Amino acid sequence: MTTDAPPAPVTRRPRRPGKNKGHKLTRVLHSWLSMASLLVVLFFSITGLTLNHQDWTFGQSPAVTRTSGQLPSGATAEGAPNYLVISEYLRSQQGASGQITDYGADGDAGRISYAGPGYTGSATFSVSTGTFTMESTRYGLVAIANDLHKGRHTSTAWSWTIDVAAVGLALVAITGLLLGLIIQRRRRSALVLLGVGVVGGVVLMLFS
């Protein structure tokens, strides 16, 4: 009676603790950053399309508003405009918003202009009489999103948001690249795709 010999034990090369730790940390970081930046990627990808196709208005047309009236007391004193009083009145009573992009006076004719995401406003007034005329244009949600994408006439907080989003997306790309290189069975395909992407990007930039 013969008995089969037990199979020889399979010896596996021990994994290096440092490598496993680095792999795990990179994977966790990539996963969390990807989830946190999901809406950011979606927003900038959609607005990238709408910026590249300015004719896509989705039925929205600019809404123009024109008003006129008398500036409040204290708006002009001794023949000089008080732009702070004028601006606060236009914001609170005439719907002006955004940043002041221009102001000044040439003789009796004064002016003050505003701009914000999807919005422009301009007021002219008489320094001597205090009468004013204001025209505001609101371009709709698509224009607001496009201006936010570009950081055009936005607040400091939104500027910081763009910076943080840019750093986060860069980290997503770097950790994704590291994962492709760390995982041995994916290394070759990762390098091939990286090379194709680099060459394709250079060709597009040269012929754009």
The closest of 139, 120, 150 to 52, measured between CA atoms, is 150
Terminal-to-terminal C-alpha distance of the chain: 80
Question: 33 pLDDT band (50/70/90 cuts)?
Answer: confident
Q: What 3-state DSSP class applies to 135?
A: strand
Quote the pLDDT of residue 17.
53
Residue pair 97/144 in contact (Cβ under 8 Å)? The answer is no
- For residue 57, which amino acid is it? T
- pLDDT of 104 strictly over 90: yes
- pLDDT of 5 strictly over 80: no
Average pLDDT over residues 164-168: 87
**Residue 122: DSSP 8-state:** E
- For residue 208, which amino acid is it? S
- pLDDT of 189 strictly over 90: no
Quote the pLDDT of residue 10.
52
Q: Hey, what long-range contacts does 16-25 have (CB within 8 A, 24 or more apart)?
A: 19/182, 22/182, 23/179, 23/182, 23/183
Question: 194 pLDDT band (50/70/90 cuts)?
Answer: confident
From residue 205, alpha-carbon distances to 174, 194, 198, 208 in Å are: 22, 17, 11, 5
Quote the pLDDT of residue 71.
93
Quote the pLDDT of residue 4.
54
In angstroms, the CA 83 to CA 98 distance is: 15
